[in-house]
Amino acid sequence: MSPKVQPSKTLVYIASMFAILLWGMSYIWTDRLIGQGIPIFYFVFVRIFMAGIILFLFNTAYARIKRIQKQDLGKFLLLAFFEPFIYFICETFGLKLTGSPTISAMVIATIPIFSIGAGIAFFKEKISILNVVGIGLSLVGIVLVAMAKGELGEHFIWGIALLLIAVIAEVGHASITKSLSGNYSSQTIVMYQFLIGSVYLLPLFLWKGLDGFDYEVYFDGDVWYPIICLAVLCSSLAFSLWVSTIKNLGVAKSSIFSALIPVASAMIAWAIGHEMLNDRQWFGIALSTLGVILSQYTSKKA
């Protein structure tokens, strides 16, 4: 049997940044749905279920479906529980309760700090002092980009707590994904993750997602356009690319890219004229970019 061909680091980085750009855009599409008063449990369930079906059809068409091995069933159940179930619920409600996308982005940006410990503890990943400095610079840059004036919601503390739970869930998701990536393809892992996750979300969808259901509102084009974008681009495609990133870079180093989501979101908002960036924020973007470069540096000797 011929050995598997590993993708070049350049391709891995391109795939990583493309996934981050899509997730940065997801904040805008999610905010649009919340602004229209669409229940969170409605569009989160539809997004996850649709993404799972799309990947199922894709894997079926290319004969890439692999049955879950008995010893891995528990891992897949836990993977789907961490993300999409826990992560999406806590992140979305956390953003809503804090009333401040700025503070929320800063909390989510702490993922690398938790991921370093997980990567070292569970997978014996090696990380240098220079990598740690890079992660620190990137986090500082993210804070500079995210800092903006905004009113705090009435249930701010609860929102922060939910966001911290989302961060822990993402670290758990990345750790389990790393352990599964050697036996399953990226599309297969994400397919099972979303299909199982949609089962977890189904009771909440039926209980709260359809509360006050109005056919003309829920099936309006302005509602389904962002949902389809979230399902196809931000879930099916972005998550498949992200599994490949975790597989090739590891838990600790891949997490630094996820911390750039707030930066990507700010730049996209600026590009479409939704928000203007000041000099401090542009400096933060440059600092974050430098941090990513340092966090990925590996000496030839190592």
More confident residue, 43 or 300: 43
pLDDT tens per residue across span 124-164:
777 788 878 887 887 788 777 766 545 555 677 888 889 88
- Is 300 inside any structural domain? no
> When comparing pLDDT for 103 and 185, which is higher?
185
Is 2 among the domain residues? no
What pLDDT does 5 receive?
A: 56
Q: Is residue 89 part of a domain?
A: yes
Q: Take residue 199 and report the two structure tokens written for it.
A: 């089962």
Residue 58 lies in a domain: yes
Residue at 4 is within a domain: no
Averaged pLDDT, 108-125: 72
pLDDT of residue 302: 47
What pTM, to 2 d.p., does this model score? Answer: 0.80
Instruction: Give the pLDDT of residue 188.
Output: 93
Is the residue at 246 inside a domain?
yes
Say if residues 128 and 299 touch (Cβ distance below 8 Å).
yes
* DSSP, res 30: H
- Domains contained in the chain, number: 1
Torsion region of 250: left, alpha or beta (phi above 0 gives left; psi -120 to 50 gives alpha): left
Render pLDDT for 79-106 as a digit per residue (tens, 0 to 9). 999 999 999 999 889 878 876 665 677 6
Nearest to 235 by CA among 76, 38, 58: 58
Could you tell me if residue 36 is inside a domain?
A: yes
What's phi and psi for 76, nearest 5 deg? Answer: -65, -40
In a domain, 1, yes or no: no
Q: How many CB atoms lie within 10 A of CB 17?
A: 16
Asked whether the CA dihedral 291, 171, 88, 80 is positive or negative, the reply is positive
Domain limits at 191? Answer: 9-295
